[in-house]
Amino acid sequence: MESCLSVSSAPPPKKNIQEPVRPNANFHKSVWGDHFLKYASNPEQINDGVDKQHKQLKEELRKKLVVNVNIERAEEQLKLIDAIQRLGVAYHFRTEIASVLNNQLELWNNKVDDDDLYLTSLRFRLLRQQGYNVSCAVFEKFKNIDGRFNECLTDDVRGLLSLYESTHMRVHKEDILEEALEFTVAQLEQVIKSSLSDKVLLSQVVHALNIPIRKSLTRLEARYFISVYEQDKSCNETLLKFSKLDFNILQKLHQQEVADLTLWWKNLNVSEKVPYARDRLVECYFWALAEYFEPQYSRARKMSGKITALISLIDDTYDSYGTFEELALFTDAAQRWDINAIDQLPEYMRPIFRELIYLYNAMEEELLNDGISYRVEYAKQSVIQMITAYNDEAIWYHNNYVPTFEEYLKVALVSSGYRMLPTNSFVGMGKTEVPHQAFDWVSNNPLMVKASTIIARLDNDKVGHEHEQDRGHVASGVECYMKQHGATKEEAVVEFNKRISSAWKDINQECLHPLPVPMHLLERVLNLVRFVTLFYKNGDMYTNSNTHMKEFISSLLVESIPS
């Protein structure tokens, strides 16, 4: 008996359990660390004097806008609106701007044909931005009998720049705007080579060719344009003062929001619990800031920033760490959306899954008092769809399967996150700002969202596919297209650029009346596309956030503007 007990109680022989081989993405550490925590302990308050000055300047500008428009004052009003929008303060004057542009539409319809290239292009762009489907045939008057743009226009740099900006509002089958884009790019590139004596105008040409107004983030454009506008001898001093003041006031609010998110992130202890993932909390807040910078969207920004940060960890788990079997377990847990499913997960996955469930529960509870907690279910479903797409890609990788390009897109457009992000961006917005049917609209993959996913996915694949293949990753769109069509990488990129250009036309079309949903909701999707365009302009600025991304964030969240 004793011998039997001693044998049975002896520890079993140790099994030689081999740790799975995991890819090493080798992401750099957080650029920001705890930098923004200082704004949590010492929040800067807006003093009464600054607040009073802000209100006075705003009222002065409002009075300038509500003056009746006539032909003589049309250019002055258009230039004022353009400056207001580019300086990032148009959210204060939405009603007044809408009224002025409605009057400008009447002037347009009355065929004011003596406008020069600058004014014609400016009016066209501002009206298109407002959602008016004005005809591009107005530019025919700037062509010669051979059907080409007049050579005399080449000396009108301001007019060329205005025309160039207007071409980015084009929709499908607007050949004259395609011709205008080709013409203006060629001429403006010559302007740069010729070293224009007007250095302020030259700066604007260089800036526009890099990122046109239509594709620029409002807040970054404001930061840039303030520096340009203050050098303009004809600038409106009231507007300049107001823009600087407003920028700095908003910056203080944004700094406090990042501080709140940094505290949340620090409590999650991401750097220790999820060391393999990109630690990009501030960059995720910047993403949310790109969606909406206005003060009334503070709750939405913080919700969106948290969601994006968590999704980034999940993305890296699928792309850079999890085994095939582990990812299947996480996918099953996400599809069940049950905290009890955490028991089936490996230890390292549990903090991420737990916080995912807790975050959406907290959002639901916060929105309950407003009677809009139903929104969270739409957001959850979009996340589940995205995680399922992550797993579909993991299956492809596990099986060494390279799908056809169209088969790839069906999954990759979902895994891009750009179906999930618009839905989630609506959740934290005000009760009256997002009608229930808007969630049905955004969840059904409308053209606006579909176009945004195409841009996000193809831009990502163009710049990131080589690095992803080096570390072990499912075939990107570039590899899928090359294999299916026997194409070179360069040919694949040309095709991607064509599709991206077409998708931008779809977006522009969807932003013309009649609108599928209110314009301020379409702007959320548009802003997400603007962000991803910036995001991949100089490589993957999210993964490698210690260069251009750091500079952008510093300009908006660290460096105030001298008054």
Topology annotation, domain 68-215:
Glycosyltransferase (1.50.10)
Question: pLDDT band at residue 22, thresholds of 50, 70 and 90?
Answer: confident
Q: How many other CB atoms sit within 10 Å of the CB of residue 187?
A: 21
List, for residues 211-235, the tens digit of each pLDDT value. Answer: 999 999 999 999 999 999 999 999 9
How open is the CA angle 314-315-317, to the nearest 5 degrees? 60
534 pLDDT higher than 80: yes
Tell me the per-residue pLDDT of 392-423, one tens digit each, with 9 for 90 and over: 999 999 999 999 999 999 999 999 999 999 99
Cα gap 441→448, rounded to integer Å: 10
Q: What is the pLDDT of residue 563?
A: 84
Q: What is the pLDDT of residue 470?
A: 53
CATH 1.10.600.10 segments of the chain: 242-557
Amino acid at 319: D
CB 471 within 8 A of CB 24: yes
The boundaries of every CATH 1.50.10.130 domain in the chain are 68-215
List CB contacts of 552: < 8 A, sequence separation 6 or more. 220, 286, 534
Contact criterion met (CB below 8 Å) for 156 and 118? yes
Per-residue pLDDT band for 15 (boundaries 50, 70, 90) equals: very low
Annotated binding residue 155:
no
Q: Is 315 annotated among the ligand-binding residues? A: yes
Give the length of the chain.
Answer: 563
CATH architecture under which domain 242-557 falls: Orthogonal Bundle (1.10)
Residue type, 471: R
The C-alpha atoms of residue 294 and residue 100 are separated, in whole angstroms, by 22
Tell how far CA 122 is from the center of its chain: 25
DSSP string, 516-538: SS-HHHHHHHHHHHHHHHHHTBT
- In the chain, % helix, strand, coil (3-state, to 5) comes to 70, 0, 30
Contact 419, 426 (CB under 8 A): no
In terms of pTM, does the model score above 0.75?
Answer: yes
- The answer on whether 392 is annotated among ligand-binding residues is no
- Neighbour-count burial of 110, counting CB atoms closer than 10 A to its CB (0-12 exposed, 13-18 middle, 19+ buried): exposed
